[in-house]
Amino acid sequence: MRKVMLAILALSFLMGMAAAQEFNERPAKGAGYNMTFDFEQSVQGSGYFMTYRYIQLPTPDTGSPGQKGPMYKDYAHGSGTIENEMIINADIVNYVKKDGCYQEWEAYSCISAREDNSMVYSPMRMAIGNGYYARNPILYDSLLKEKTVIKNYRPVTMMHHQVEYAKAVDKEIEILVKDKQYVYDDPIYQGVGYTWMKISEDVTDGMVDIGVLQGDPNNMNDTGYDAPRRSNGQGTSAWYNPMIEIDEHYVGTFTIEKNMTLEVPYKHVIVPKDWLSCCFGGCDTMEPCGPYNPCEPCIVPDAESMAAATFEPPVTNGDIYYS
């Protein structure tokens, strides 16, 4: 694994996030918007360190531009020695394929990361520059903390791992957060949300928190999908009334092995109208139809006009009817 300066890594990471932000501001509609971000580092040394990494991708959703998709956040700080190797990949992939008068659209947003991190706490006194702080070294005395959170908004899934106030941490962690969707012009919406976290670690004299939440997705038009809302219709909450809740706390010295996986498939079919739309002139005029740009409804008489045109009330005279 190549070794790079932290300043260059920070610049590369910010450039990648700028690309992600630019994509997130575009309409999540149609095809052609793709992004790949790769981050790789190897760091060894002693002193004080602080790292922060955050990625928020949009969900592959034609109807909700800017809606949140997979999210990854990692944070660490402490004083002492560190040996760290890490790889992060983030992808946004979209494509459209024609199928006669119709088209099918498939897309996914995905974040994967793998980290091997070994930290040992010790107070560090360092002389900085050639002025006052060269003559009066600064004391860095910070116990170790490390935190990883992943969220998958469409399937309403969250996993969390945190170590703090530790004397030593030797950890390997792997994560995957993926939101995949397929749409056909009938239209049929189907997809799956993958979320998993694998942990293998030794913690010395520290506090460990591990948590999992799985909300109640129901269907694409309810909690966690296109229109997340509470059951009373007031406000939104992705984690309201969870189906799965795990909350673990450990204080002391532990060896921990975890392998947590959640897979949430979904399918939603919209029943087409049983009367012709305004797009009845063939493939050329059907192109704008579907879930992307639905046609305007055809102009049809209202119920009262239709009744007047097709039925005349009979004239009555006692029990005799005259048409």
pLDDT (tens digit per residue) in 56-76: 998 886 555 567 889 999 999
* Closest to 256 measured CA to CA, from 158, 142, 166: 166
222 confidence band (pLDDT: 50, 70, 90) = very low
**Burial, 290: exposed, middle or buried (Cβ in 10 Å; 0-12, 13-18, 19+)?**
buried
Q: Which residue has the higher pLDDT, 243 or 168?
A: 168
151 confidence band (pLDDT: 50, 70, 90) = very high
Highest averaged pLDDT of the listed ranges 54-58, 67-71, 101-105, 179-183: 54-58
Task: Give the chain's mean pLDDT.
Answer: 75
Measured CA distances, 39 to 2, 52, 87, 124, 160 (Å): 11, 13, 6, 29, 21
Pairwise CA distance, residues 207 & 191, whole Å: 38
Weakest mean pLDDT among 65-74, 116-125, 202-211, 269-278: 269-278
For the chain, the C-alpha Rg in angstroms (whole number) is 28
The secondary structure of 159-170 as a DSSP string is: EEEEEEEESEEE
Neighbours of 89 (CB within 10 A): 16
User: Average pLDDT in the 270-295 region?
Assistant: 50
Pairwise CA distance, residues 124 & 77, whole Å: 13
**Helix/strand/coil for 8:** helix
Pairwise CA distance, residues 123 & 242, whole Å: 42
* pLDDT score, position 217: 61
User: Average pLDDT in the 26-44 region?
Assistant: 74
Q: In the predicted model, is pLDDT for residue 141 greater than 60?
A: yes
* pLDDT score, position 273: 53
Each residue of 247-264: pLDDT tens digit? 999 999 999 999 999 998
User: What is the 3 state secondary structure string of 126-189?
Assistant: ECCCCCHHHHCCEEECCCEEEEEEEEECCCCEEEEEEEEEECEEEEEEEEEEEEEEEEECCCEE
Q: In the predicted model, is pLDDT for residue 26 greater than 90?
A: no
Enter the DSSP assignment of 217: -
* pLDDT score, position 62: 52
> Which strand (E) or helix (H) includes residue 285?
helix 283-286
What's phi and psi for 10, nearest 5 deg? -60, -45
The secondary structure of 43-68 as a DSSP string is: EEEEEEEEEEEEEEEEP--SSSTT-E
Each residue of 1-13: pLDDT tens digit? 444 333 333 334 3
Q: Which residue has the higher pLDDT, 249 or 181?
A: 249
Measured CA distances, 29 to 23, 37, 80, 218, 271 (Å): 11, 21, 48, 24, 21
Would you say 118 and 57 are in contact if contact means Cβ atoms under 8 Å apart?
no
Give CA 141 to chain center in angstroms. 36
What's phi and psi for 224, nearest 5 deg? 90, -10
Enter the DSSP assignment of 136: S
Enter the DSSP assignment of 127: -
Pairwise CA distance, residues 67 & 153, whole Å: 9
Q: In the predicted model, is pLDDT for residue 120 greater than 90?
A: yes
Enter the DSSP assignment of 231: T
pTM, rounded to two decimals:
0.71
Pairwise CA distance, residues 237 & 234, whole Å: 9
Structure tokens at 64: 């909700």
